Amino acid sequence: QKEVEQDPGPLSVPEGAIVSLNCTYSNSAFQYFMWYRQYSRKGPELLMYTYSSGNKEDGRFTAQVDKSSKYISLFIRDSQPSDSATYLCAMSRTNAGKSTFGDGTTLTVKP
Amino acid sequence: DGGITQSPKYLFRKEGQNVTLSCEQNLNHDAMYWYRQDPGQGLRLIYYSQIVNDFQKGDIAEGYSVSREKKESFPLTVTSAQKNPTAFYLCASRQGPINEKLFFGSGTQLSVL
């Protein structure tokens, strides 16, 4: 079983919809939780970064971490066609030196 | 502009040939990473280096080799022992031991002729 499982998708939504992207994990030592956005054939870019539990908001994006359930989510409000991309969750332990990635969820926002 | 530069963007390998992918960063980051991405899949760690002249195997190191002679550079060699090398290769760097954020290059697509 993989340490990090991500909802596989693909996901297709109309413009303006609220999108929920989710990952579960098995390693309770994970403390850092990241969401990366990857456009087709490009390198991923960091979207959200959270340490330990709680919520973090940045514009239309909200990241939630529930360590008791080992579950993280990324919410996108008022989704735009430019949000169409693959979203990768990633997480790591303190001083681990490396991150573990989910397989990604491909999102398409239709105008 | 600070960033990570990967070259070439596309690379073709003949059977039995070794090829080297370049990764250079001017972010002054200590740690550097190589990931492999297959279609529809996430990132799998090949090798990483947290300091010059030191590197560790990741989850899929077989058939690959790296060197870290300079802080700025972390080249990846795909050897002939890697029987299924066709993939998108991504290089990344990280600021330091506490900061977990990765910065990625634009990737190299390697294909077998």
pLDDT (tens digit per residue) in A14-64: 999 999 999 999 999 999 999 999 999 899 999 999 988 889 999 999 999
- What digits encode the pLDDT tens for the residues A76-100? 999 999 999 999 999 998 777 889 9
List the single residue in A45, A88, A99 with the smallest CB-CB distance to B100: A99
Give B31's contacts in chain A (Cβ within 8 Å).
97
Secondary structure of residue A81 in the 3-state scheme: helix
Token pair belonging to A75: 């919410």
- Reply yes or no on whether the pLDDT at B99 is more than 70: no
Residue showing tokens 């993989």: A2
Nearest CA distance, B80 vs chain A (angstrom): 25
Answer whether residue B40 shows pLDDT above 90: no
- How far apart CA B78 and CA B111 sit, in angstroms, is 11
Residue A92 with chain B: CB contacts under 8 Å = 100
Question: pLDDT class for B101, splitting at 50, 70, 90?
Answer: confident
Residues 6+ apart with CB under 8 A from B94: B29, B30, B31, B32, B33, B100, B101, B102, B103
pLDDT tens per residue, range B41-81: 889 999 999 999 999 999 999 999 999 999 999 999 999 99
Beta strands at A85-92 and A105-110: parallel, antiparallel or unpaired: antiparallel
For the cut 70, the answer to whether the pLDDT of residue B1 exceeds it is no
Q: Average pLDDT in the B19-31 region?
A: 95
Q: How far apart are CA A106 and CA B110, in angstroms?
A: 22
